[in-house]
Chain A
């Protein structure tokens, strides 16, 4: 019976494809593009189980089993980089994720259209400056002669080199990340808020609901599903986007490696400074991807359990 259903299902799928064949043909180039440029190169992951030989290439390089993964377990610096990546990513998620939501609500609720646009533009602008440029600005601000230290001294404090201070480096990462991204990330929430029917607000106001009540019972339910989807996406990108390579690479120095070195910066340094084996760095990359997938699936499940729609 089950077989029959399956057969019928397959047949109907084929029929559907035939029926919409031109749409499928239009999708075909994209599928081929993905196959060639995104999936075919994945054969490179086999390098994680090989030692790279320049003459033989990826296919011809000799297999060495799990040796690279064993080295990962004994590599103290990599272990530290893993820890830093996870910690920086999670703290960034916790500290940054709510801020654009709050900003969007504040802008939407408490400002007129023109003011909202002005604020939004000002706050979005830093997103368009690269970390290379921004880091130069941050280094200047944080230097001994910089404005930050001048203010500290003005209020009776003592100037210090914050970017080389192990205790100060991570908070600087979190704060500067929020500063750069808060405006940009709030756009999608503002869009969601704008999609809510204004009549709902008017009706609530007529019924005597104050601003907070309107926020709680109209704005938040309207935002919830967007927040859930973005949360899943953010969790999925934790290991790469979270501990942003550009930001850390341009701001860190050896005195803060212990708190700042992430998997990406570590791989970069070992690959191009000391010339590590490509197989080893591939193995590290795979491990990172596996963790990302696990985080993504977990976040999706949690969101679904909370009654929202997940990614899949």
Chain B
């Protein structure tokens, strides 16, 4: 009897174990929210006292996948601005966390298992999977924007307008700049002017030869005895944004492999990377590397390592993204202030103006006016889509923008003439911890920071340089002609074709073969992947559509 009872207990224990195991492992979401956190509960309770003609009287929960949204939303209860926005649109946010390491994988997984959140952020323009999302209804088309004038304006910039598929838009790009001229900021070269002067350089470089001579002088002089190297880079993805500027600027790419631009050579449209202007640019880069003007460890560099090297005097120049905002935050605030407390950074560090290339032009990098996009799950209702559009439109409106940038009028800032003057010294980030999340959810609008009124760039001298720099760029450089529709064109081979030019540049830079031979090998690899076929397809389609 005793034995039977113990067997029975064993049986019950096993069954319980199995049940708990299954429930633990299989406790998936029945909703479309992917892996959500408990933070949703922390959202403020939606106001129940909404008047009857309020278009948002129906409360709504919107799931959003965004980078590190868990930590952003955890502070939403302490943010009066966020509460104001949530109440205005009668919404509650259900966060679906992604990180910078896993977002692409997670979103592809959710897309393939029908578990996409209502809104999700990713940089997928031009990829095969993004094209399939559109074709197969995974993402919802943006409705008529008549009622959303601020959002409608968004789609007027040529490179954003060109994203439409059969006349419909499927994504709201996270805009950074009003025009491609501003791309100059996204591949900026900082250099140590103090060390250059110590090495006998008296004139800021304007041509490639002057720039190379300056680097050479700094490296040879090694004024601080730190075995200084030449140019380093935040990421290898950025290399093309600088080295192609030697006479082949349309080859500059954001590193995604899908944004390559086309030029017409010998009567045929070809990707600009394969232009005959490529070889001189590659040779120039190789000469720089062979003459110790480029960091020998550039192939394995990482942003923090590169910033450290530059700010600590171990690299003469730094190729970095993020414009003056990054310069201010990563170099000045985090590093320079400590490393050189007595030296004024704007006297010691200069930003390289686009150099005059062999074609006599001052070329700068040319990318898109946006980075990353919002997509909307194909499964959401029209009503939810309308509510999301209203939210996006508000954030882009002058009212929304001012609220999210400067805080509340007469509480956080006051207007004096044409200037906004901040009231008090409390940081807006402490007071409104989720305000930047709302802003960045829709658009970065990095260009807004290039304004003496805007406190984003903390060091006022750097801010002044930033404003002057972009004014100078807008006045003194011109963007070469290209047709963005060719970049977005879809053909069978092109849809699967990527050009990771930074990988190719690295191969040429580090190759022991002559440049032309190394480049020929790379071209051969691209041809094996269908380069010629893609060129033929694009030329045929361009002729058909009258783009030739």
A interface vs B, CB < 8 Å?
A: 22, 25-26, 28-29, 32-33, 36-37, 52-55, 57, 76, 139, 143-145, 159, 161, 163-164, 253-255, 257, 271-278
Contact = CB atoms under 8 A, between A and B. Distances in A.
Given A164-B510, A255-B510, A139 B300 contact: yes
With a 10 A CB-CB cut-off, give which of A26, A53, A159, A254 has the most chain B CB atoms: A254
B297 A161 contact: yes
B536 to A, nearest CB: 18
A29 B15 CA distance: 8
Given A273-B257, A275-B130, A55 B510 contact: no
A244 to B, nearest CB: 18
B14 A26 contact: yes
A54 B138 contact: yes
B300 A76 contact: no
Contacts of A29: 14, 17-18, 21
Interface in B1-50: 7, 10-11, 14, 17-18, 21-22, 25
Contact of A161 (B10, B137, B299, B528): B299
21 contacts: A22-B11, A26-B10, A26-B14, A29-B21, A32-B22, A52-B112, A54-B114, A55-B138, A57-B112, A139-B297, A139-B300, A144-B296, A164-B510, A253-B506, A254-B502, A254-B503, A272-B104, A274-B258, A275-B124, A276-B128, A277-B128
B133 A54 contact: yes
A143 B111 contact: no
Contact of A55 (B137, B227, B296, B504): B137
Interface string B125-147: 00111101100111000000000
Contacts of B528: 76
A39 B210 CA distance: 65
Contact of A272 (B108, B300, B504): B108
Contact of A54 (B17, B18, B112, B257): B112
Interface of B: 7, 10-11, 14, 17-18, 21-22, 25, 104-105, 108, 111-114, 124, 127-130, 132-133, 136-138, 227, 229, 236, 257-258, 296-297, 299-300, 314, 496, 498, 500, 502-504, 506-507, 509-511, 525, 528-529
A83 to B, nearest CB: 15
Contacts of B507: 254-255
A274 B257 contact: yes
A255 B299 contact: yes
Contacts of B498: 273-274
With a 10 A CB-CB cut-off, give which of A26, A54, A163 has the most chain B CB atoms: A54
A255 B513 CA distance: 13
Contacts of A33: 18, 21
Name A's interface SS: helix
Contact of B300 (A145, A159, A164, A274): A164
A56 to B, nearest CB: 8
Contacts of A36: 22, 25
A29 B529 CA distance: 49
Contact of B136 (A28, A54, A76, A159): A54
B112 A254 contact: no
Contact of A145 (B112, B227, B525): B227
A274 B126 CA distance: 9
A11 to B, nearest CB: 24
B350 to A, nearest CB: 25
Name B's interface SS: helix
B296 A257 contact: no
Contact of B297 (A26, A143, A275, A278): A143
A95 to B, nearest CB: 24
A164 B104 CA distance: 27
A272 B506 CA distance: 21
Contact of A32 (B18, B506, B529): B18
A274 B113 CA distance: 20
Contacts of B502: 254
A274 B111 contact: no
B230 to A, nearest CB: 12
Given A54-B133, A253-B300, A255-B506, 16 more contacts: A22-B7, A26-B10, A29-B21, A33-B18, A57-B113, A57-B114, A76-B529, A144-B296, A145-B297, A161-B297, A161-B299, A164-B510, A254-B299, A272-B104, A273-B498, A275-B128
A36 B509 CA distance: 51
A159 B133 CA distance: 49
A63 to B, nearest CB: 17
Contacts of B314: 145
A272 B138 contact: no
Contact of A163 (B17, B105, B113, B300): B300
A209 B155 CA distance: 88
B296 A254 contact: no
Contact of A254 (B10, B227, B258, B506): B506
Nearest to B378: A55
B257 A53 contact: no
Q: Which 3 A-B pairs have the closest CB atoms?
A: A254-B503, A275-B127, A275-B129
A301 B523 CA distance: 46
A274 B128 contact: yes
A161 B296 contact: yes
B258 to A, nearest CB: 8
A276 B257 CA distance: 13
B240 to A, nearest CB: 12
Contacts of A275: 108, 124, 127-130
